[in-house]
Homo-oligomer: A and B are copies of this chain.
Amino acid sequence: MAADTVDKELLKGTIPLMVLSLIDKRDLYGYQIIKYLRVLSGETFVFKEGTLYPILHSLEKRQFIVSYWQESSVGRKRKYYRISEQGLRELTDRLMAWNTFTGAVALVLEGEVPVNEA
């Protein structure tokens, strides 16, 4: 595994977190979110539509985000998403969970393993 590739498994659960975080800053449409994830992550997160769209649909179904169509001067219509009240709460919760999680992993990785038996 090269240093600039991500273990896909590690991603589980973090994509919705990142998506909510981005939409929280500004209303975005799907294709745009894929680009932002790619650019902001320094080309680490390169997702296909097949990965992101179902996640957006799931987030909308659970009412964390709300969609609306909007014309663009170029290309076809875009489906924008904005975050809801529940979405804000979900984002807060997921951020806490993320920090707890990475903190706990760090503790284990840096932790001393006692030499004595239990």
Chain A residues at the B interface, C-beta cutoff of 8 Å: 1, 3-14, 17-18, 21-22, 25-26, 28, 32, 35-37, 40-42, 44-45, 72, 93-98, 100-105, 107-109, 111-113, 115, 117-118
Using CB atoms, name the residue of chain B closest to A73: B117
- B6 adjacent to A37 (CB under 8 Å): no
Which residue of B13, B93, B100, B112 contacts A44 across the interface (Cβ within 8 Å)? B100
Count this chain's copies in the assembly: 2
Contacts of A108 in B (CB 8 A): 18, 21-22, 36-37, 40-41, 45
Which residue of B1, B28, B45, B103 contacts A104 across the interface (Cβ within 8 Å)? B45
Interface of A is mostly: helix
Given the known interface contacts A36-B113, A96-B3, A97-B7, the answer about A102 and B102 at a Cβ–Cβ threshold of 8 Å is yes
Using CB atoms, name the residue of chain B closest to A90: B1
Which residue of B12, B22, B94, B112 contacts A1 across the interface (Cβ within 8 Å)? B94
Contacts of A10 in B (CB 8 A): 12-14, 97-98, 101
- B113 adjacent to A4 (CB under 8 Å): no
- With A12-B13, A22-B113, A35-B118 given, name 18 new contacts (CB 8 A): A1-B97, A3-B96, A3-B97, A5-B100, A6-B97, A7-B94, A10-B14, A10-B97, A14-B105, A21-B108, A36-B108, A36-B111, A36-B113, A41-B105, A41-B107, A42-B104, A45-B104, A102-B102
